[in-house]
Structure 1
Amino acid sequence: MNKIRHLINLLLVAFPFCDVNAQEPEFYQNPVIKADLADPSVIRFDGVYYASGTSSEWAPFYPVYKSTDLVNWVQVGHVFEQKPEWTESSFWAPELYVYDNKVYCYYTARRKSDHISCIGVAVANSPENAFEDKGPLIAIGSECIDAFVFNDNGQLYITWKAYGLDPRPIEILCCKLSPDGLRLEGEPFTLLTDEESIGMEGQCIIHKDDWYYLLYSARGCCGAGSDYEVRVARSKKMTEPFQKYSDNPILMRSDDFLSCGQGSVTTTPDGRFYYLCHAYQRDAKFYMGRQPIIQELVFGSDQWPHFKTGRLATSRQPMPFEGIKQDEWNQFADNFAGDKLDVSWTWNYTYCDVKAEINGNGKLLLSGNGIKEPSVAALCQRAPASDYCFSVNVLNDGRSMRGIVLYGDAENYVALVLRNKKLQVVSKCNGKETITSETSMKKRNVRLQAEVKDCRKLSFMYDDGSGMKELEPFSADASHTTPWDRVARPGVISAVLANSKEKPAEFSEFKIWKK
Structure 2
Amino acid sequence: MTPESARTYTNPVLNADWSDPDVVRVGDDFYLTASSFGRAPGLPLLHSRDLVNWTLVGHALDRLEPAHAFAAPRPDGGVWAPSLRHHADRFWIFWGDPDQGVFQVNAPEIRGPWTAPRLVKAGKGLIDPCPLWDEETGEAYLVHAWARSRSGIKNRLTGHRMHPDGTEVLDEGRVIVDGDGIPGWFTLEGPKLYRHDGWYWILAPAGSVGTGWQGAFRSRAFFGPYEERVLLEQGDTGVNGPHQGGWVRTGSGEDWFLHFQQRGAYGRVVHLQPMAWGADGWPVLGDDGTPVAEHRRPALPPQPPAEPATCDDFPGGRHGRQWSWAANPRDGWATQHSGDGLRLACVRSEDAHDLRRLPSVLTQRLPGEPRVVEVELRLDSEEPGARAGLAVLGDAYRWIGLQRDADGTAHLVHRFAEPGAAAERDADTPRPAPQGRALLRVETVAGARCRFSCDLGDGPRPTGRDFAATPWGWVGALLGLFALAPAGRGHAGSATFTRFRVGPRRTAA
Shared fold by TM > 0.5?
A: yes
Q: Which has the higher contact order (CA 8 A, sep 6+)?
A: 2
Matched, 1:395 2:378: yes
Counterpart Cα distance in 2 of 1:132 and 1:446: 43
1:218 is matched with: 206
Helix, strand or coil for the counterpart of 1:181? coil
1:31 is matched with: 12
1:389 CA displacement: 0.9
Q: Spell out, residue by residue over 1:41-99, the C-alpha distance to the aligned partner (whole angstroms, 9 max, x if none).
A: 11112431110000113221111100111111000001112224477542111111111
Counterpart Cα distance in 2 of 1:48 and 1:253: 33
Is the CA contact 2:125–2:147 (under 8 Å) kept in the aligned structure 1? yes
Counterpart Cα distance in 1 of 2:155 and 2:89: 34
- Identity of matched residues, %: 21
Q: Spell out, residue by residue over 1:205-238, the C-alpha distance to the aligned partner (whole angstroms, 9 max, x if none).
A: 33332322221100112xxxx2121011211122
Is the CA contact 1:214–1:234 (under 8 Å) kept in the aligned structure 2? yes
Mark the CA change 1:258 to 1:445 in structure 2 (over 3 Å): closer, same or farther. same
How does 1:351-370 map onto structure 2 within 5 Å?
Answer: 355-367=333-345
Amino acid corresponding to residue 190 of structure 1 in structure 2: V
Helix, strand or coil for the counterpart of 1:186? coil
- Where structure 1 has 5 or more consecutive residues not aligned to the other structure, the ranges are 1-21, 111-115
Counterpart Cα distance in 2 of 1:191 and 1:170: 11
2:400 is matched with: 416
Q: Spell out, residue by residue over 1:420-443, the C-alpha distance to the aligned partner (whole angstroms, 9 max, x if none).
A: 221111011233311021212212
Is the CA contact 2:163–2:170 (under 8 Å) kept in the aligned structure 1? yes
Mark the CA change 1:237 to 1:227 in structure 2 (over 3 Å): closer, same or farther. same
Mark the CA change 1:358 to 1:228 in structure 2 (over 3 Å): closer, same or farther. farther
Counterpart Cα distance in 2 of 1:294 and 1:182: 32
Counterpart Cα distance in 2 of 1:28 and 1:484: 31
Is the CA contact 2:96–2:102 (under 8 Å) kept in the aligned structure 1? yes
Counterpart Cα distance in 2 of 1:250 and 1:132: 36
Is the CA contact 2:346–2:495 (under 8 Å) kept in the aligned structure 1? no
Relative to the length of structure 2, the TM-score reads 0.85
1:513 is matched with: 503
- In our comparison, the structure showing a higher alpha carbon Rg is 1
Counterpart Cα distance in 2 of 1:137 and 1:413: 37
1:349 is matched with: 327
Is the CA contact 2:259–2:270 (under 8 Å) kept in the aligned structure 1? yes
461, 471, 496: which is aligned to 1:470?
A: 461
Counterpart Cα distance in 1 of 2:79 and 2:332: 18
Q: Spell out, residue by residue over 1:331-353, the C-alpha distance to the aligned partner (whole angstroms, 9 max, x if none).
A: 84322224532111122117999
1:280 is matched with: 262
1:3 is matched with: none
1:370 CA displacement: 6.4
1:311 CA displacement: 1.3
1:495 CA displacement: 2.2
118, 121, 128: which is aligned to 1:135?
A: 118
Counterpart Cα distance in 2 of 1:80 and 1:349: 12
2:162 is matched with: 177
125, 129, 138: which is aligned to 1:147?
A: 129
More off after superposition, 228-237 vs 207-216? 207-216
Amino acid corresponding to residue 342 of structure 1 in structure 2: G
- Where structure 2 has 5 or more consecutive residues not aligned to the other structure, the ranges are 71-76, 405-409
Counterpart Cα distance in 2 of 1:396 and 1:167: 49
Is the CA contact 1:190–1:241 (under 8 Å) kept in the aligned structure 2? no
1:354 CA displacement: 8.4
1:179 CA displacement: 2.0
Helix, strand or coil for the counterpart of 2:237? coil
Counterpart Cα distance in 2 of 1:443 and 1:50: 46
Counterpart Cα distance in 2 of 1:372 and 1:190: 47
2:104 is matched with: 121
1:128 CA displacement: 1.1
Relative to the length of structure 1, the TM-score reads 0.84
How many pairs align? 473
Counterpart Cα distance in 1 of 2:442 and 2:152: 47
Is the CA contact 1:451–1:458 (under 8 Å) kept in the aligned structure 2? yes
Cα RMSD after superposing both structures = 2.7
Counterpart Cα distance in 1 of 2:411 and 2:216: 58
